[in-house]
Amino acid sequence: MLSLPLITANLQTDFTGREIKYLPKVTSTNTKALELLEAGAKEGTVVLTDNQTAGRGRHGHYWYSGAGKGLAFSIILTPHIVFESASLISLMAGLAVGEAIKKFQLTPRLKWPNDIILSGKKCGGILVETRLQDKMMTSAIVGIGINVNETSTDFPEAIRSDTTSIALEKGTSVQRELTLAWTLNAIERWYLVLKSGKINSIISACENLCAHFGKTVSFTRKGKKIFGVFEGITENGEAIIRFPNDTGKLKLSSQEISIIREK
Ligand code: BTN
């Protein structure tokens, strides 16, 4: 079971994770966080569980997290930023998870828009659900799943070959509480950067961690398979894809495609 005092002892935040709603078992921390938001929960409140039974992934996929082994949590933010910046919330969350994992002397990579990769396999994912009002993003539930101490056979067979955990990569188990506290510390730091408008520093940090920067990628858009070079990320968090033979560029929003692959 997760120890809340151990999390708090490692927090260096003003508001993120200062209120933690811990639930031993829950369907989805994002769903619970939305309920708490509606009931007036404060910014920075974290919903955390040891056993998420119906984790939700992007594009309606199921998210598996190992009971008592992985991390599944959601952070309530109330950013009041223009809705065009919505994708940046999930980019900065990916950045924060990447930074936390780096502290274990591992080399995480980000797969745009928000997969966390270790040794080419998925180790974490982010699902951001936002509320908009008058073209402003008033609130965001930032749901984060990190595979921490799972062994290979813990993962369902269908995802086993493409999935890894921090422990599998490091060869030893690590403290989930520390992983969480480090992630929350980094989230708050990047969130304040985002709110101060220094978007370029988020973009360049993401590009630095990006697994496919400058590489040829493929994806399916409107039923058509497309190839192009991943050139970078725009100020709104879209991917910039350059077509072969300099035949133009495309800006890709994270809603448009589910998977971008290296060629
Ligand atoms: C993805 O890669 O598809 C995103 C996965 C996001 C999973 C996390 S786990 C905590 C939070 N609660 C959910 O139901 N989903 C997110």
- Written as one string, the DSSP assignment of 226-262 is EEEEEEEE-TTSPEEEEPGGG--EEEE-TTT-S-EEE
- pLDDT score of 150 more than 60: yes
Residue with CA closest to ligand 1 atom 11: 143
* The pLDDT value given to residue 65: 87
CB count in 10 Å sphere of residue 110: 25
Q: Looking at residues 230-241, what average pLDDT do you find? A: 91
Amino acid 259: pLDDT: 63
Q: For a pocket test of ligand 1, which of 22, 56, 76, 179 has the largest count of ligand atoms closer than 8 A to its C-beta?
A: 56
pLDDT for 73: 98
Over residues 195-229, the pLDDT tens digits come to 999 999 999 999 999 988 888 888 888 888 888 89
The model's pLDDT over 63-112, given as tens digits with 9 standing for 90+, comes to: 998 899 999 999 999 998 888 888 899 999 999 999 999 999 999 999 98
Task: Output the pLDDT for position 254.
Answer: 75
Asked if residue 230 lies in contact with residue 244, where contact means CB atoms within 8 angstroms, the answer is no
- Phi, psi (rounded to 5 degrees) for 124: -170, 160
- pLDDT tens, 10-67? 999 999 999 999 999 999 999 999 999 999 999 999 999 999 999 999 888 899 988 9
Residues 6+ apart with CB under 8 A from 218: 225, 226, 227, 260, 261, 262, 263
If you measure from the C-alpha of residue 28 to the centroid of ligand 1, how many angstroms do you get, rounded to a whole number? 8
pLDDT score, position 86: 82
pLDDT given for residue 257 in this prediction: 62
Chain centre to alpha carbon of residue 120: 16
For residue 33, the 8-state DSSP code is H
φ, ψ for residue 15, nearest 5 deg: -130, -20
pLDDT for 243 equals 87
Pairing of strands 249-252, 239-242: antiparallel
The answer, yes or no, to whether any atom of ligand 1 lies below 6 A from the CB of 70, is no
pLDDT of residue 240: 92
Q: Is 144 in the pocket of ligand 1 (CB under 6 A)?
A: yes
Backbone phi, psi, residue 10, to 5°: -105, 5
* Beta pairing partners, 216: 229
Closest listed residue to residue 202, CA positions, set 98, 119, 104 = 98
100 lines ligand 1 (CB under 6 A): no
Q: Is the CB–ligand 1 distance for residue 34 below 6 Å?
A: no
Q: What is the DSSP string of 175-224?
A: -HHHHHHHHHHHHHHHHHHHHTT-HHHHHHHHHHHBTTTTSEEEEEETTE
pLDDT at 121: 96
Residue nearest to atom 16 of ligand 1 (CA): 143
CA dist., res. 149 & res. 171, Å (int) = 10
Give the nearest ligand 1 atom to 59 CA: 3
**Mean pLDDT of the residues in the chain:** 93
pLDDT value of residue 47: 98
156: tokens are 């369902």
Distance CA 27, CA 85 (A): 29
Residue 142 has pLDDT above 90, yes or no: yes
At residue 59, the pLDDT reads 82
Q: What mean pLDDT do residues 136-165 have?
A: 96
Under DSSP, is residue 85 helix (H, G, I), strand (E, B) or coil? helix
**Going by CA atoms, what residue is nearest to atom 7 of ligand 1?**
145
Distance CA 147, CA 102 (A): 14
